[in-house]
């Protein structure tokens, strides 16, 4: 058993989200109570070619453990090679295989969610990776299926388990659904009840109440939170508090939220990210917009954030907003 599932700990995972769950964001989520984290996905072939951008993406700190690094690809040999490289260089707590990404550029190379249409190949990939890194646990993340007519989570779950993976995260949507519509929790619950390995449920969890309800009604061993954490990383704190004490603490004030956003921005700018070559904030705008989602007046702020270039511009947006709404609080996104 992976130690973070011992004694019914019910770990909360921060979902991997490409371009958003960077090393600084993960630090903040960890401090708020995220138990397990996974890097954004990286292409196995590109890791093997030693692309420095990717090594930056999979970087993590000791405090962030248990940490998984997520890889995607469709070739068992190159996937195994990438896993070995990761083990040798970073010693992650687990290597996670992405079988869920719906993006065209990933599906085109028969990787991500495309593998759900080829369970035999998917099994070969898991087997090869497990064999390549005997000291590092291997896990997988899937969707329920390609579309409503091909829900394969159960079949694929059994394959993943029998090939030696140690946990399975299920995003309860199909590839065709993308990121909209309801997550299919009955299917997740069914797979969680059947498999021996821990199943981590994922899809549209937005509150502590969701977590408590899912914990009570399914055999998921843990849950994974995605977009709700982007706009409100305090969700981990809220859930932990609710699980322990039955109540949700008051949300941070708008002032506190801006302090966090500006601190986050400064930390990102201080890192030697490759995008930093322009030394301005333009490339960070999507991250900043995500972080302000749900704040009072976020629509107007969004417009202003699409103009920020320097940290001073961001501080001005914050100041203006705090003057208007500083004392207000709002939970969730
Ligand atoms: C912007 C974005 C990037 C994502 N990148 C990844 C990724 O790199 N690897 C992965 O397994 N899932 C990725 N996902 C999917 C999430 O991990 C998660 O499964 C999905 O958002 C559903 O959870 P939610 O409803 O809580 O957001 C991404 C999702 C979003 C919105």
From first to last of its 333 residues, what are the pLDDT tens digits of the chain? 999 999 999 999 999 999 999 999 999 999 999 999 999 999 999 999 998 889 989 999 999 999 999 999 999 999 999 999 999 999 999 999 999 999 999 999 999 999 999 999 999 999 999 999 999 999 999 999 999 999 999 999 999 999 999 999 999 999 999 999 999 999 999 999 999 999 999 999 999 999 999 999 999 999 999 999 999 999 999 999 999 999 999 999 999 999 999 999 999 988 876 666 556 899 999 999 999 998 888 888 999 999 999 999 999 999 999 988 766 666 654
Shared domain check, 286 and 239: no
Residues 295, 236 share a domain: no
Catalytic-role residue among 29, 101, 108, 220: 101
Distance between Cα 175 and ligand 1 center (Å): 12
Same domain, 157 and 21: yes
SS3 94: strand
With vertex at residue 294, the alpha carbon angle to CA 289 and CA 297, rounded to the nearest 5 degrees, is 85
66: preceding bond cis by omega (within 30 degrees) = yes
Residue 333: what pLDDT?
A: 46
CATH code: domain of residue 237: 3.20.20.70
Is 226 close to ligand 1, i.e. is its CB under 6 Å away? yes
What residues make up the domain containing 296?
A: 254-325
Q: For tokens 């921060």, name the residue.
A: 14
Do 162 and 204 lie in a common domain?
yes
What stretches of the chain adopt beta strand conformation (E)?
A: 12-14, 36-38, 42-43, 67-72, 94-99, 138-145, 168-174, 199-202, 222-225
Residue 332 placed within a domain: no
Pair of tokens at residue 299: 């629509």
Residue ending a domain, among 245, 270, 295, is 245
DSSP state string for 293-318: TTSTTHHHHHHHHTT--SHHHHHHHH
- End-to-end CA distance of the chain, in Å? 34
Q: How many domains does the chain have?
A: 2
Q: What is the rounded CA–CA span in Å between residue 170 and residue 173?
A: 9
Instruction: Tell me if residue 101 is catalytic.
Output: yes
The minimum-distance atom of ligand 1 relative to the CA of 203 is 25
In a domain, 331, yes or no: no
3-state secondary structure of 4: helix
């Amino acid at each position: 058993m992976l130690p973070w599932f011992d004694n019914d700990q019910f770990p909360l995972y921060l979902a991997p989200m490409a371009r958003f769950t960077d090393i600084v964001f993960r630090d903040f989520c960890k401090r708020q109570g995220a138990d397990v984290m996974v890097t954004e996905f990286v292409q196995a072939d590109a890791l093997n070619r030693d692309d420095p951008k990717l090594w930056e993406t999979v970087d993590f700190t000791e405090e962030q453990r248990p940490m998984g690094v997520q890889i995607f690809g469709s070739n068992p040999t190159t996937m195994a090679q990438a896993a070995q490289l990761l083990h040798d260089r970073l010693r992650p707590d687990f290597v996670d295989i992405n079988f869920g990404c719906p993006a065209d550029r990933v599906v085109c190379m028969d990787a991500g969610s495309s593998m759900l249409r080829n369970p035999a190949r998917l099994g070969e990939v898991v087997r090869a990776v497990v064999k390549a890194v005997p000291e590092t646990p291997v896990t997988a993340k899937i969707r329920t299926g390609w579309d409503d007519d091909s829900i394969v989570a159960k079949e694929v779950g059994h394959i993943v388990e029998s090939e030696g993976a140690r946990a399975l995260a299920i995003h309860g949507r199909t590839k065709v659904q993308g990121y909209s519509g309801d997550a299919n929790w009955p299917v997740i619950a069914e797979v969680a009840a059947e498999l021996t390995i821990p199943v981590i449920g994922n899809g549209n969890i937005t509150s502590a109440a969701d977590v408590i309800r899912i914990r009570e009604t399914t055999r998921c061993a843990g849950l994974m939170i995605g977009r709700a954490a982007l706009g409100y990383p305090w969700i981990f704190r809220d859930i932990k508090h609710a699980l322990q004490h039955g109540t949700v603490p008051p949300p941070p004030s708008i002032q506190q939220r801006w302090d966090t956003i500006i601190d986050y921005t400064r930390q990102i700018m201080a890192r030697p990210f490759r995008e930093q070559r322009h030394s301005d904030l333009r490339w960070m705008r999507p991250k900043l917009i995500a972080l302000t989602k749900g704040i009072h007046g976020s629509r107007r702020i969004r417009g202003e954030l699409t103009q920020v270039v320097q940290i001073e511009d961001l501080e001005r947006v914050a100041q203006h907003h705090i003057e208007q709404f500083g004392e207000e609080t709002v939970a969730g996104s």
